[in-house]
Amino acid sequence: MVLIDCFLMLLLAYGFGFLYYGLYRNLSARVHGRFGPSLAQSFFDSVKLFVKEQSTTFGWMFYAGPIIMATGAVLNVLFIPFINHGDSLQGLSSSANLIVVLYLMVLGPLGNALGVGSNGNPFGVMGITRGLTRLIALELPFYLAVIGVMIDAGSADFSAIFEAQSQEMNLLKHPLLFMAAFISFLGFMGKSPFDVVGAPQEVYSGPATEFSGKFFALLLSQSAMFSFAKLLLMVNLFLGGADDLGDLVLKTFVLFVAATFIGSVYARFSTIQSVEFLMRIPTLLGIVGLALL
């Protein structure tokens, strides 16, 4: 039963992940005044990359890096409940809690960082360093918000967090915390202005520099699923979770569109700028939000 549930969750995450990715390209094309590619374009890309005849590898650690990354993304999908009640689409979320999920989110990137480091390309590691530096600042406001949510719910379990939001969702209860978390969330999703990690010209697309063929395909697929997991986390923490599948689609979609629109009108912050920005405004918002708790 659990296995079927997990399988369904993965299927949904995969489908929606790619759909949203396609939508993202489409929407930002519209913002630019273009038409953009077809909705399934990212899916085509990943299939094409999977069937490339060659992919360059630099040894077993390089091979394992994207796999660990993808494993991390899959685990995240499995440990975050999709629906805020009942038994279906819960996956393995009953054997973990919010803190575990937060830390699982960095496990995959660490594996990938090892893979990137092992190929000996300095640009990849520059990207990783940027990512880790930015992570320092990204996590602070997010943690502040999450701590507020957990204290409010009196537990780190997702069920308790849903319970606490049954009357009024956290977005309305703690708007400041939501804002702090949302700004961090933009960075987690790799949206502008916090997307300096993979700057294509400056550091040769950063961590992804050496990944070709099936490795890059795996990275693309996992990033689609991972983005969906992050959307899901935000929905669960601040929008009260989803009552049913329709609700899930609606809420993730709204959040996603908001993130896309904000992301496509900003220019890129440098690493240091983004750290300094994140340490000021969202952190302050988070602290004030906590004080109001």
Partner 1 sequence: MEEGFNAYRQSLESEEQSIKSTQSVVEQAIAWFRAHSMFVLAYGTGCGAIEMPPTFTSRYDIERLGVVGVATPRQADILIVSGYCSPKTLKRVIRSYEQMSDPKYIIGLGSCTINGGMYWDSYNTIKKLDDFLPVDMYVNGCMPRPEALIEGFVKLQEKIRLNSSEAGYIKYRDNYAHYRANQERLFGAQVAPSYEENFAGMN
Partner 2 sequence: MLHFEATLLGHLFFGLSLLVIVALLRKNDGLWHLLLLGSLGIIFYASSLVTLFIGWEMMGWSGYFILSKTARVSTLQRYILFNLGGAFALLGAIALLFSFMGSMMLCDIDLTLLPVWALHSVSALVLIAVFVKSGIIGAHDWVVDSYQEASPLFSAVLSAILSKAGIYLFIVLLLKQPHDERVLFELMAWLGAITSVVATFKAISQDEIKRLLAYSSIAQLGYIITALSLMQAYALEAALYHTVIHTLVKLLLFVNVAAIMAITGKERFSELGGLLYRVPLLFVLLVIGIIALAGMPLLGGFNGKFLLYTALLEEKRALLLATVMFSSASAFLYCYKLVYGIYLGQRPHDESPLHVSPKSYYIPQLLSAALLILLGFLPALPTPLFSAIGVEAGFSALEFTKPSILNSPFGSFNGAVLMSAFGVVFVLILGLLQRVHSKAKAAQNAQDISYCGEVPKAGVNLHFGYGMGHELGRIGFIAFILRRQSRRFWDYLNLIVGDLSILLRSLYALGTQHILLLSLLGFTLLLLGGL
Rounded CA-CA distance 194/254 in Å is 20
| DSSP one-letter code for 87 | S
Question: Restricting to residues 3-42, which ones interact with partner 1 according to CB under 8 A?
Answer: 25, 29, 32-38, 41
Question: Which of partner 2, partner 1, none lies near 281, with the C-beta cut-off 5 to 8 A by kind?
Answer: none
Please count the other Cβ atoms lying within 10 Å of the Cβ belonging to residue 160: 16
Dmax (CA) for the chain in angstroms is 58
Cα(26)–Cα(217) distance, integer angstroms: 20
Which residues between 234 and 253 bind partner 1 (CB under 8 A)? none
* Size (the chain), residues: 293
> With binding defined as CB under 8 A, does residue 59 bind partner 2?
yes
Binding mask 91-130 for partner 2 (x = CB under 8 A): -x--xxxxxx--xx-xx--x--xx--xxxxxxx-xx-xxx
List 42, 46, 112, 271, residue binding partner 2 (CB under 8 A): 271
Residue 45 interacting with partner 2 (CB under 8 A) = no
Number of residues that bind partner 2 (CB under 8 A): 79
In contact, 237 and 149? CB cutoff 8 Å: yes
Among 27, 74, 224, 237, binds partner 2 (CB under 8 A): 74
Q: What is the DSSP string of 243-264?
A: SSHHHHHHHHHHHHHHHHHHHH
Tokens standing for residue 216: 């890059």
Q: Is the dihedral of CA 144, 149, 153, 158 positive or negative?
A: negative
45 binds, among partner 2, partner 1, none (CB under 5 to 8 A by kind): partner 1
Contact stretch for partner 2 (CB under 8 A) within 35-43, 137-145, 188-196, 238-246: 137-145
Q: Is 56 in the site for partner 1 (CB under 8 A)?
A: yes
173: tokens are: 């209860």
Stretch that binds partner 2, among 52-60, 81-89, 247-255, 257-265 (CB under 8 A): 52-60
Residues 149-168: x where in contact with partner 2 by CB under 8 A, - otherwise, as a string: -xx--xxxx--x--------
Say how far apart CA 65 and CA 112 lie, in whole Å: 4
Indicate whether 204 belongs to the interface with partner 1 (CB under 8 A).
Answer: yes
Tokens encoding 249? 């689609």
Tell me which residues touch partner 1 (CB under 8 A): 25, 29, 32-38, 41, 44-45, 47-49, 51-56, 200-201, 204-205, 208-213, 216
